[in-house]
Every structure is written in structure tokens, then in C-alpha cells.
Amino acid sequence: MKIKQWIMVVLLVGAVLSLVACSQSSGGDGNESASNGTVYSLKVGTALTASDPIYQGLEAFKERVEERTDNHVRIEIFGSGSLGEDNDIIEQAKIGSNVAVIVDSARLAEMVPEIGILTAPYIVDSFEEANTVVQSDLFGGWVDQLAESHNLQVLSFNWYQGERHLLTKKEIQSPEDLRGVQLRTPGSPIWLESIRAMGASPTGMPWSEVYPAIQQGVIDGAEAQHPATYGAKLHEVVTHISKTRHFQLVTGIVAGANWMNQLPEEYQEIIYEEAAKAGEEASLQTVEKLEEFEQSMLDESNVEIHDVDIDLFKAATEVVYEKFDGFMELREEINNILGK
């Protein structure tokens, strides 16, 4: 065999061996082999943008987990819904994919109906109250059900996003003012029934579509918390924000239980610890910045922000608790937890 032919054979064999090694080092679960141990990769999706304290909390979570595991657990954050819709990510997590999502309890209620009480209107009045509930044995039982029956693992559920308000093109002071108003809300039953009880016509729609839908008149408005409203620039396309405080939005990071269980126990503990720590820090940042977000919206647009009589909206949404099995009793249990 000539020298040139021999060189070509050696190069071809080397290339084939390299491809085989690469294919064996990475599996469908996102894990990779390394000389000093397996590297686990987790993709975390959120509809929020980089200006939101929750997104910034995810960045802190990523940094600390990677540091404490010597980069054997790597986390990639996908903002603005770029990883997909929340429900789609949840389904991927259930079948073992290396994905997680910041999600509210209303979406999880499709699997454990009782957990939806946390997004019932006026169930709690502050982050402190919401955090007390999610640290309780009651909530812990729901977390166990998600893991055991639906292969979903809550990493922490103390990510507070703020009070949700009405965003409209006309001033809203009472439920009567919402008649005929088509309002975007997440498509889960508890959200839809709550907005309907407040007097509006609810429309389920992905968050990323809300801005153009309001701008083009497809819908009349939406409901959201200040950080998300500002991040999506919705104050540019509505003229009024009515501070109804109808939901105190507490959310959590949810991943696949099977994916979590494959990790060494030491790494699992690090993830749980850092998720809870980052969630608390991000929540406190949210509380501190609510007024700042509100002032920024006032400074940057012609939007008007109104305080309203919350008791009017509380009375209107009382019927919601009667429409979901066991919610009246669950509210009493939560009130007992809170000492009300």
C-alpha cells in the first residue's frame, strides 16, 4: 500500500472512532460522559424575560448549582417562552426529558386537582401567606402525588411573581365595568372561571401572543403581575391598569421525577437547596421592585393605574369556590394554616 493510501486509511479510521465515541457519550436524556464523571444537563423554560426578578433568580440558581457540583450539573435557561409552552414542557418532563419549567399551580391541577386552590382568587393576601401554605404538610402531600402518580418533581415552589391586576383599554372600577370585555388569562379552568366571575369574557392564549392580540384588537386586555406586564411591554398597548390583586401568583420549578432520581443523591440535595434559596431571594426582590415596575410603566407610557375597591371583586369571585369540588373545605384548611 502506498504511503498516501495508508495515511488516508488511518485518518478514516480515526474519524469513525471519534464519531462512535461521541455517540456513546451523550444520551437522549441530555447527559454526557466526562473523564471525571457524568455531566447532567437541565433545560429550564419560562415565559418571563431577563428584566424579571424571577428570571434573575433562575440565573442565580444556575450559577450556584454549577459551582457546587463542579459543573457536573449544568443548567440552561430559556426565557420568553423559547423552550415551548408550559404544558408542552411538562409533558416532556413526564416522559423523562431533561427539562423543567417555572409553572403555576393551576396547570398542575390538571393532574392533582386540589393544588389548584393556590391560584383561586383571593386565597392568600401576600407572599408571606403563600409561602406559609407551600411549606405546609398539605402542600407536601400534593407534591408527593405529582411525583408518585405523574412523574413530576417540584424542586421548590416559593417563586413569587406578584399580584395580578387587570390590563385594559378602558377604566375598570367594578365587576360591572368588565361586561363585554374579552380578557386574556391562562387557559386552566380555575383561571377561566375566576375571570368569568369577575365579569369579563376569558380567553386562553399563550403569553407571547398577548401584545399583538391587544394591539390588533383581537382581545380587549389581559391580567398579569407588574414584572411580567413590564417585561412584555403591555403598558404600551393598554391604557389602564386596575389593581384588583385577584391572584397572588406563587410558582415553582417542576422537572421530571425520573430525571431527578437518576442524579447522585448529593446533586439532588444541592438542586433542592439552591432552588429554594434562589426562589426566596427572587421573591423578596419581586416584592421590593413592584413599585419600581409600576413607576417605570407610568414614566414610559400613557397608561393610567387605578386603585379599586377589592371587596367588590372578592364578592364577585366567591362563586368560584363553589364550582370546584372540595375548594370550600380546602379554603377553610388553608385559613387554619394561616391562623385566620
Q: How many CA atoms lie within 13 A of 298 on its CB side?
A: 9
Bridge partners, residue 102, by sequence: 253
| Amino acid making up residue 322 | E
pTM: 0.89
Bridge partners, residue 76, by sequence: 43
pLDDT at 29: 67
pLDDT at 10: 36
pLDDT at 33: 58
Contact residues for 161 (Cβ-Cβ < 8 A; gap 6+): 48, 52, 54, 225, 227, 228, 249, 250, 251, 286
Q: 3-class DSSP state for residue 269?
A: helix
d(CA 164, CA 55): 18
φ, ψ (nearest 5 deg) of residue 278? -65, -35
Could you give all domains of the chain from N- to C-terminal order, each with its CATH number? 30-338 (3.40.190.170)
Spell out a b/e string for 159-172, using b for 16 or more CB atoms within 10 Å of the CB, else e.
bbbbbbbbbbeeeb
Q: Give which of 299, 189, 175 is closest to 242, Cα–Cα.
A: 175
d(CA 166, CA 178): 10
Q: Give pLDDT tens digits along the chain (340 positions).
A: 444 344 343 333 343 333 233 333 344 567 775 556 899 999 999 999 999 999 999 999 999 999 999 999 999 999 999 999 999 999 999 999 999 999 999 999 999 999 999 999 999 999 999 999 999 999 999 999 999 999 999 999 999 999 999 999 999 999 999 999 999 999 899 999 999 999 999 999 999 999 999 999 999 999 999 999 999 999 999 999 999 999 999 999 999 999 999 999 999 999 999 999 999 999 999 999 999 999 999 999 999 999 999 999 999 999 999 999 999 999 999 999 999 9
